[in-house]
Amino acid sequence: MSVTDRSSLSTALVFALLALGLAGCATSNLFPSPSPEPAPAPAVVPTLPPAFPPQDIVGRWGLAAYHKEEDRARIEVAAANQCQQPYVITLGGSGGVMMHLADQSQAQELRLKGAPGGKTYIGLDGEPPGHPQDREVINFDGRILILRWMDPEVQGRYGTMVYVRCAPEGAKRPAKPKPKAKPKPKAAPKPMQPPIQQFTPAR
pLDDT digits (tens, 9 = 90+) for 112-138: 999 999 999 999 999 999 999 999 999
For the chain, the average pLDDT equals 80
Q: Does residue 43 register a pLDDT over 80? A: no
Question: What single-letter DSSP state applies at residue 48?
Answer: B
Among residues 115, 135, 140, the alpha carbon closest in space to that of 124 is found at 135
Q: How confident is the model at residue 183 (pLDDT cuts 50, 70, 90)?
A: low
Q: How confident is the model at residue 45 (pLDDT cuts 50, 70, 90)?
A: confident
Concatenated DSSP letters of 75-105: HHHHHHGGGGS-EEEEE-TTS-EEEPPTT-S
Poorest-confidence range of 89-93, 131-135, 195-199? Answer: 195-199
Residues 138, 147 contacting (CB under 8 angstroms) = yes
Strands (E) across the chain are located at: 59-66, 87-91, 97-99, 108-115, 119-123, 135-140, 144-149, 160-165
Domain borders along the chain are 54-165
pLDDT digits (tens, 9 = 90+) for 74-83: 999 999 999 9
Q: Does residue 174 register a pLDDT over 70? A: no
